[in-house]
Amino acid sequence: MKKIYFLILAFVVFFTNAQTEGILVLNEGGAGSNTAEISFINNQSVVTNNYFKLKNNNATLGDTAQDIKIFGDKIFVVLNISNTIKVINKSDFSLITTISTNVANPRYIAFSGNKFYVTNWGNNNMANYVAVYDLNTYAHEANIPVGNGPEKIFSKNNKLYVLLKGGYGLNHFMDVINTTTNSVESQVNVGDSPNSIFEKDNLLYIMSSGDPYSATSFGTLTVYNTNTQSTASSTTFPVGVKPSYMDTDGTNIYYMNEASIYKTPIASPSINTQPIAVTPITVNSYGTAYGFNVVNNTIYAADPSGYIAPGKIYAYNLQGTLQNTFTVTSLPNQIIAYNSASLSTVENTKASKLSLYPNPTSNRFFVQGLNSGNIQVYDVNGRMIINTQYTQNGIDVTALSKGVYVVKISGKNNSFSEKLIIK
């Protein structure tokens, strides 16, 4: 009887401490309706809608959710019409705080050092700017004036790269901000209406869709060298092609044009004419997909479902085969990886003597006490960028940018996560 009791107790403890893993879907909700929400889809493809309400005593998230990012043990949600930034505890999804100081039409968020940065369209009293906040206290520190319509923002070393889509108008620049001086040091032409950005081997890949109202303005793929701070190449899409989204799995570029998904190698990008998949998303005057992300080797396309019905998420493998369809709530626009495990809790309670060294590193890292196992490295956006088997030669990270990463290690008898700093 005593043996059975301890088996039951172990079973309960295991499931109590089990990690919740899957993806989070940010649902924008109807403008002015205060129906922004988050859906959680676990690794068994079970959908839980209204996840924020569920974890916060039926509280509302806010109005018009624009961006979601995970940094460390916190989730940050930018709400456009609410003019707020919600900070959520990653482990239990409880609300930590709501930031509303110096927030005016906020759009997207990025992190650098002990600061976070939010793009804002501004209002009648404030022009377009990037707001600077302290990551520890959430205190507002400064506003950095930028060009018209700041949207996506990317951080690398001591620079911020801000895509200027135009806000209520049209723009075609990227502002480069020096975070030491909190000022714009250069402005780069990247094509009309830039919509997406990622980095690989010190090169920024920037996708622009072209002017949606012009018959002569089409998409552009710009490659920008962050070492020389200059444009390495610029490719214009063929007549009629206005790509709306772009993302990467670290090896290939994936982008959407109308309802179709295309793929091209990062090492030698080209404009493809044959899609790897055609989604069921309806093409109309309002556009096509409402969101597009590549997460953990899966391509996700978000369907606004006519802006009336609950949205849908279509999941494809990297070859373009449809794997699953999920029904979420209103206007899904972002999909990110999610793991509820608290880094501090995992690090402090791991039963083994496993540890990363050297940490920080700029070349490669090793796992003390590990002979073999699976290594996954995630960036601050929750994107898995390395997935490989561990060997005694360690893991090469020379291709990674400076910053904070999470390393998940799965050995025969051990599994834990730990922060890794690339210097």
**Domain ranges, ordered by start, for the chain:** 23-339, 355-422
Of all residues in the chain, what percent are helix, strand and coil, respectively (each to 5)?
5, 50, 45
Confidence class for position 5, pLDDT limits 50, 70, 90? very low
Which has more pLDDT, 352 or 24? 24
pLDDT in tens, 291-339: 999 998 999 999 999 998 999 999 999 999 999 999 999 999 999 999 8
> Which tokens sit at 62?
């806010």
Give the pLDDT mean for 335-344.
78
pLDDT in tens, 64-94: 999 999 988 899 999 999 999 999 999 999 9
Give the pLDDT mean for 352-366.
80
CA distance linking residue 390 with residue 354, whole number of Å: 13
Give the pLDDT mean for 3-24.
53
pLDDT of residue 381: 67
pLDDT in tens, 154-185: 999 899 999 999 987 899 999 999 999 999 99
Is the CB of residue 378 less than 8 Å from the CB of residue 398?
no
pLDDT of residue 406: 86
pLDDT of residue 113: 86
Selection from 11-25, 293-307, 355-369, 382-396 with the highest mean pLDDT: 293-307
pLDDT of residue 226: 96
- pLDDT at 16 > cutoff 60: no
The hierarchical CATH code for the domain 355-422 is 2.60.40.10
pLDDT in tens, 212-259: 888 899 999 999 999 999 999 999 999 989 999 999 998 999 999 999
Confidence class for position 15, pLDDT limits 50, 70, 90? very low
pLDDT of residue 413: 59
The proportion of the chain whose per-residue pLDDT surpasses 70, expressed as a percent, equals 90
Rounded to the nearest integer, the mean pLDDT of the chain is 89
- pLDDT at 98 > cutoff 90: yes
Confidence class for position 403, pLDDT limits 50, 70, 90? confident
> Which tokens sit at 52?
């924020």
Q: Specify the range with the lowest mean pLDDT, choosing from 28-37, 45-54, 164-173.
A: 164-173
CA distance linking residue 358 with residue 363, whole number of Å: 9
Classify burial at 242, counting beta carbons within 10 Å of its beta carbon; exposed 0-12, middle 13-18, buried 19 or more.
Answer: buried
- Beta bridge pairs of residue 263: 254
pLDDT of residue 362: 85
pLDDT of residue 106: 98
pLDDT in tens, 199-222: 998 999 999 999 988 889 999 999
Q: How many CA atoms lie within 13 A of 145 on its CB side?
A: 2
Say how many residues make up the chain. Answer: 423
- pLDDT at 124 > cutoff 80: no
Bond preceding residue 310 cis, omega within 30 of 0: no
Q: What is the pTM assigned to this prediction?
A: 0.82
Give the pLDDT mean for 95-122.
96
pLDDT of residue 412: 61
Confidence class for position 410, pLDDT limits 50, 70, 90? confident
Confidence class for position 17, pLDDT limits 50, 70, 90? very low
pLDDT of residue 9: 41
337: region left, alpha or beta (phi > 0 left; psi from -120 to 50 alpha): beta
Tell which CATH architecture fits domain 23-339. 7 Propeller (2.130)
Confidence class for position 368, pLDDT limits 50, 70, 90? confident
pLDDT of residue 2: 44
Q: How far is CA 403 from the centre of its chain?
A: 15
Strand 65-71: give its sheet, edge to edge.
65-71, 74-79, 84-89, 95-99
pLDDT of residue 392: 76
pLDDT of residue 285: 66
